[in-house]
Amino acid sequence: MIIDQYLEKRDKCVHNVNTCSLMMPEEVAQLFEDYTKTIWDFKLVGRINDFYSDDIIINREGGSDLVGAKEVFKNTLHLMAAFPDLKLEFIDIFAEGNEEDGYSFGQAIYFDGTNTGHSKYGPPTGKSLTDGDVCLGLCECRVEKVDGRWKIVEEWVTRSSEAIEATMKSDEANISEQIEEERAYGN
């Protein structure tokens, strides 16, 4: 029965992603909530190609911007591999705009998961993203028609990056990094 409920939820999200006409801001907000769940909850990562323009720019904190849908795809897979149980909980999502000029939407999400997969920092640490803290993601996206299809053309995103990276680093790596920072600042 659990698999049937899972598939029903997935199919409902996918149906909305496939049929949404994007005629009103409220539809845009619901579409991108369902779209995000389709990718992250149901692991349909290939759907990134449905709404990210080929030359998307994702402006991220610290200058670690992503350029191109392929980079978005690759980055998403890396995070999923490091946190196979990653869950997103929507706090809020809203949109504004119109069919002619395009839409902007913003969303706030809580992240939760445990580093049980390999990452760019090495083997899994078993650490939780929310070990007593909140792990938050905020983004704003610009949606416009590109070759007759609605696409995200630019995104501004910030996450609890320090928490995410600290979760993927072993305690030895964290201690070594702290020592190097102290040496660099003369402490």
Q: What is the mean pLDDT of residues 162-178?
A: 66
Residue 175: pLDDT band with limits 50, 70, 90: very low
pLDDT tops 80 at residue 131: no
pLDDT tens digits, 52-81: 999 999 998 877 889 999 999 998 999 899
Edge-to-edge strand list for the sheet holding 87-98: 66-67, 52-60, 149-159, 136-146, 102-112, 87-98
Domain spans of the chain, in order of start:
2-184
- Predicted confidence at residue 166, as pLDDT, reads 80
Q: Does 160 or 110 have the greater pLDDT score?
A: 110
For residue 183, pLDDT beyond 70: no
- Separation between Cα atoms, residue 116 and residue 123, nearest integer Å: 8
Q: Residue 187 has what pLDDT?
A: 57
The residue ranking higher by pLDDT, 158 or 63, is 158
Strands 136-146 and 102-112, bridge-based pairing: antiparallel
Q: What is the mean pLDDT of the chain?
A: 85
**Partners of 122 in the beta sheet?**
119
Closest CA to 168 of 111, 113, 125, 137: 125
Q: Which tokens in the block code for residue 156?
A: 């501004």
- Residue 172: what pLDDT? 61
> What phi and psi, each to the nearest 5 degrees, are found at residue 80?
-65, -40
Task: Say which CATH topology domain 2-184 has.
Answer: Nuclear Transport Factor 2; Chain: A, (3.10.450)
- What does pTM read for this prediction? 0.80
Res 177 pLDDT > 90: no
Residues for the chain: how many in total?
187
Q: What is the pLDDT of residue 106?
A: 93
What's the pLDDT tens digit per position in 145-157?
888 888 899 999 9
Mean pLDDT of 45-55: 91
| Structure-model confidence comparison of residues 159 and 26, the more confident one | 26
51-60, 109-118, 127-136, range with the lowest pLDDT: 127-136
